[in-house]
Amino acid sequence: MKQIKVLIADDHTIVREGIRSLLEAREDISVVGEASTGAEAIEKTEALKPDVAIIDISMPILNGLEATLRIKKSVPQCKVLVLTMHENKESVRQVLRAGASGYIVKKSAASQLFDAIHAVFKGEAFFSPSISRMLLDEYRDEVGPIDKTLSLREREVLQLVAEGYGNREISDLLHI
């Protein structure tokens, strides 16, 4: 199994050291570098070419959002996983637009961090459960509830039309 090369970018030393300690205990993950500013995260990502860059949003000398945007431009094969305390829709939207592959909150368990690293490394998206819930609620708010004006029979017909059935097939299936 290939080791996943990870860069950790957070302006808090104790947080970086804690994450490093957690990740170094794993045989499948190798920490290749650390950064304490957004500018340093870009520089080290370009030099070290990690598979995954774990980026905090709130960092000095370029925030995590700008760092993510620049990392994705200069090292597109690097997957960015945002690890932050922020749990608001706007932060999530912004980092996703910038090219992040995942968003995990700092209150998450270590096992979620490991799962997130593996998921984004494989090209999948990963969100903390609280973020997934927030995105789902936002989506439901945008699209609204299922149209209650259709009867059960009308919804059955609509479903069969969507599945590509013709009028005669629908009437046969529904015994009309």
Residue 167 pLDDT level (bands cut at 50, 70, 90)? confident
Count the helix, strand and coil residues of the chain and give each as a percent rounded to the nearest 5.
Answer: 50, 15, 35
Residue 10 has a pLDDT of 95
Q: What is residue 26's three-state secondary structure?
A: coil
**What confidence tens digit (pLDDT) does each residue in 103-136 have?**
999 988 888 999 999 999 999 989 888 888 888 7
Calpha distance 120→117 (Å, rounded): 6
Yes or no: say if 91 and 114 are a contact pair by the CB < 8 Å rule: no
81: pLDDT strictly greater than 90: yes
pTM more than 0.85: no
Q: Which residues of 120-155 are buried (b: 16+ CB within 10 A; e: fewer)?
A: bbeeeebbbeebeebbeeeeeeeeeeeeeeeeeeee
Residue 144 has a pLDDT of 64
**What confidence tens digit (pLDDT) does each residue in 10-67 have?**
999 999 999 999 999 999 999 999 999 999 999 999 999 999 999 999 999 999 899 9
CA angle 161, 163, 168 (to 5 degrees): 50
Residue 72 has a pLDDT of 95
Yes or no: say if 33 and 50 are a contact pair by the CB < 8 Å rule: yes
